[in-house]
Amino acid sequence: MIEPLSQKERNELLKLVSDEQKEFLLNQLKRSRETIFGNFMLSEKVHAIQSADEIELLDDEQDVVDWMIVEYVDHGLGNRHGKCACGRSLRYEFTVQHTKTKKTIIYGKDHLAEFLNLNVRDIDGVIYELNTIDFELDELLIKIKEADYGYELLNGLSQYPKDIQNHVEHHIPLLNRQMKRLFKMIEEIKIVEQLEAYKKANTQIMKRFEKEKKVKQSREQEIMEIVHARLPTNASLGEIAFRFVQNGLSSATEISHHIRNHFHVEKRMSTGVMERPYIYIDVVSSLMEYVKQDYLLFDEESSGLEDCLFFINPHAQLENCTEIQETLF
């Protein structure tokens, strides 16, 4: 799992785009979030509210249909710059507002779940959807910076989806998911008169996918070389896992996969629905020991049943620990 750009990094890249591109990107982000919020609040799961954090609700504020999620802020891995109505510091900050009285309350995901009478995992699902939108914004900003628009894939094609046309009209790069959909469309629709153009587009798309695969493999290999080079002889599972965190990986699941694939450890995979490496629990337990010693921080708010996230404690005294390396991300 690679973390999205920080808000600072995103703001720096937004300075590089044109006014037209910026307006399109931010409006698209706003519309996408509003759609996620709207669909969630209108879902069957949300059917009642209850007062949380001792905030009193007026009689005409008791109907759930009059409440909307109007804002969401992710302050980033390890950051607690947000503030819940209860006073707790937050990474994830949701603002709910009553459409009639305009009462506004800021909640973290736990108290938002309590407010909506839901399991916190339902809020995790919303966060996953929101993160997907942020990932795509990051992808587009990076592609604009690198002048990688992907329009060459459209040469000779007489038709393509409306959302792709919309990107072209506003001078916005194509997303990877749009390219994959274009590839599928080309495979399914073969007009004889344009057969050569379709073949050419398919070849270009396949080259892009292959290039991305090689970049990913190269990055993984680079990480593995650094981890292997600085590990002590007969390193423990915890030392190996800690080295990965030092080099920019936060996800215990991802770390477990790397260790399983590249070290002499238990190779079995869990038969559960999550299909994680069998060593996952041992990896988490080992990293928790580093947390106890203040070398690592455990992102309790972001972690859940699906994964656990760890990162270096910037205030830790690491002289007596594994020597820290420059991160690759």
Which comes out higher in pLDDT, residue 196 or 92? 92
State how far the Cα of 118 lies from the Cα of 187, in Å rounded to an integer.
43
Q: What is the DSSP string of 130-175?
A: HHHHHHHHHHHHHHHHTT---GGGGTT-S---HHHHHHHHTT-PPP
Which comes out higher in pLDDT, residue 247 or 105? 105
The pLDDT value recorded for residue 52 is 66
Ranges of each domain in the chain: 7-143, 149-218, 230-312
Tens digit of pLDDT for each residue in 7-35? Answer: 788 889 999 999 999 999 999 999 999 99
What residues does 68 pair with on adjacent strands? 97
What pTM was estimated for this model as a whole?
0.64
State how far the Cα of 276 lies from the Cα of 270, in Å rounded to an integer.
5
The pLDDT value recorded for residue 180 is 85
pLDDT band at 303 (very low <50, low <70, confident <90, very high): confident
Q: What is the CATH number of domain 230-312?
A: 1.10.10
pLDDT band at 195 (very low <50, low <70, confident <90, very high): low
**If DSSP codes are grouped into helix, strand and coil, which group holds residue 197?**
helix
Give all strands of the β-sheet with 67-74 in edge-to-edge order.
67-74, 92-98, 104-107
Of all residues in the chain, what percent carry a pLDDT higher than 90? Answer: 37
Give Cα 3 to chain centroid, integer Å. 6
The pLDDT value recorded for residue 326 is 37
Across the chain, mean pLDDT equals: 84
Tens digit of pLDDT for each residue in 125-151? Answer: 898 899 889 999 999 999 999 999 999
- Average pLDDT (278-297) is 92
Tens digit of pLDDT for each residue in 114-126? Answer: 999 898 888 988 9
State how far the Cα of 196 lies from the Cα of 265, in Å rounded to an integer.
50
Q: Phi, psi (5° rounding) for residue 93?
A: -125, 115
Tens digit of pLDDT for each residue in 170-182? Answer: 999 999 899 888 8
pLDDT band at 3 (very low <50, low <70, confident <90, very high): low
The pLDDT value recorded for residue 193 is 53
**Contact assessment for residue 139 and residue 131, using Cβ atoms and an 8 Å cutoff:** no
Q: In 3D, which of 42, 43, 111, 54 has the Cα closest to residue 83?
A: 111
Tens digit of pLDDT for each residue in 249-263? Answer: 888 999 999 999 888
Helix axis angle, 252-262 to 280-292, nearest 10°: 120
**If DSSP codes are grouped into helix, strand and coil, which group holds residue 251?**
strand
